[in-house]
Amino acid sequence: MGSYKYCICFTRKFKWDEAQPPPAVKAAFNSLADDGSHMGPEQLRRFLVETQGDAGATVADAERIIEQIRKLRHRIHLGKISRPILTLEDFYYYLFSDELNPAFQSQIHHDMSAPVSHYFIFTGHNSYLTGNQLSSDCSDVPIVKALQRGVRVIELDMWPNSTNDNIDILHGRTLTSPVDLLKCLNSIKEFAFVASEYPVVITLEDHLTQDLQAKVAEMVIDTFGDMLYYPNSDNVTEFPSPELLKKKIILSTKPPKEYLESKSFKEENKSQSGKTSNEEEAWGKEVPDLKTEIETYEVGTTGLMGTQEDNNSDHDNEDDDPQQKSQAPALQYKHLITIRAGKPKGSLIDALKADPNNVRRLSLSEQQLTKAAATHGTDLVRFTQKNMLRVYPRGTRVRSSNYNPMIGWMHGAQMVAFNMQGYGRSLWLMHGFFRANGGCGYVKKPDFLLKEGSHGDVFDPKANYPVKKTLKVRVYMGDGWRLDFKKTHFDAYSPPDFYTKIGIAGVPADCIMKKTRVLEDNWVPLWDEEFTFPLRVPELALLRVEVHEYDMSEKDDFAGQTCLPVAELRPGIRTVPIFDRKGLKFKSVKLLMRFEFV
């Protein structure tokens, strides 16, 4: 009989008030409401101050919120509010609205006037690929999607076309079909600033002759015109700021050289001979444990800069060719490079030495970074205080999976490059990290990654730091699946059995996952459970949230996820929108949670 009842419910449109406010919301309302039935502006102001942590809230602020609720509820045909007061249903509607009561602020609020090297930057890898790294199509479509999402670094791999008179964009020595460079440049121009006004960096992997490099220079200048920024001098001692570079396009690549004749080019893609990785398939396994990864490489890290796999494929055997410096056709191309890539020959220590007269970009594979972190972690941090560090996926990730981005961020790497089509938990972390600072694609690095201590010491990601802050999270309830999913999506015969996994991604000592109990047969689960997370480095922590539907006989069904930057969380009772596997927000699914810092 119970199943029949739920089927009948699903044949009609659900109304908002069918989900009842949880006891905590009722208690908050009753403690403030006049005569237990209505809340006026003054009572709402008290709630904003005492529960939501908004110490500066005024009666006028409360009146504006009530007016917004009036308009929104009228919009969905629940009638007008005659006086500036809230009923319990109004109050619940307000709390469970991500438009009125978001979990973190949506405005840009970081200082944007520091050098670009002081920011983490939303970075793409092989941005032109529609799928896997070996046989998918190359297109401007994934570039457009990335820019619309707020990605600020687009990577293009440039190769001569079949007649050697133009430039193709493709993943070299693979079966990927090419796309024309000019088409990519035009799409970048059109969509560069739809999601953010802050600069777009184009990282160029250059496999071209000097004549074609000169042609690239012409294309770039003709396409971008005044949008293009480049330095007046070959010697750049400090990068410009994101604020200065607003609505500008900048280039990053190695200075021109005979790349086609280099050993690394000839060896290129040997490790991409068809090995497959099942990491993060579909919606992924747990993000790899950082502590285990780093400890694996604490021994035997000699020859770090010279292994075949680490120097394969895309990236930057970046020495300047002295003969080419005097070659006129490439000079214009060279002068257009704002962030110059360079990797000195020799040891890792040589590569991480800062030049007081020049700042540059260094590229490391995920494996090189992990090895470097084991023995030279503080040198990485010191290097990234002025110079740029780019990290890219290893060549064997042929399915476009990704790696754990936290190891790059906690060592100060500005460009942690990801396959944006490689859906899985690692990409969810990337999406969550760059929800910070209004989603503008630039997140200011915490001061401890930018400054030296009184004794010249820098942040050590492996050190055992004391707990700085404790985050308490209460998961009240969830709703919206009944609106966004078919009634038989999770179970053909009964309502779903939801539970929530919640935890922290950050430095190894802060990483943990917990979960609520399973609530059986309920489209609107009310868990009302609290979790406590002691944080040693809260500035780099992400709150991970996943909802699953328990299945006794098969794999549990995925029901949504989100990641939230802990440093941006607003205290109090907040709405948390939930996203699908690809990071697209569900229309209706969300959680009601409470955040408290102690």
Catalytic residue of the set 38, 110, 118, 171? 171
> Could you confirm whether 411 is annotated as catalytic?
no
* Nearest by Cα to 229 from 202, 256, 265: 202
- Euclidean distance between CA atoms 119 and 114, whole angstroms: 8
State how far the alpha carbon of 8 is from the alpha carbons of 252, 253, 351, in Å: 59, 61, 67
DSSP for residue 459: -
Q: Are 432 and 139 in contact (CB under 8 A)?
A: no
Contact 389, 490 (CB under 8 A): no
Beta bridge pairs of residue 10: none
Of 125, 207, 411, 431, catalytic: 125
Three-state secondary structure readout of 233-292: CCCCCCCCCCCCCCCCEEEEECCCCCHHHCHHHHCCCHHHCCCCCCCCCCCCCCCCCHHH
Q: Which of 91, 148, 153 is nearest to 121 (CA)?
A: 153
Provide the 8-state DSSP code for 433: H
**Burial (CB count <10 Å: 0-12, 13-18, 19+), residue 401:** buried
Helix (H) or strand (E) segment spanning residue 544: strand 542-549
User: Can 125 be counted among the known catalytic residues?
Assistant: yes
**What radius of gyration, in Å, describes the C-alpha atoms of the chain?**
26
Active site residues: 125, 171
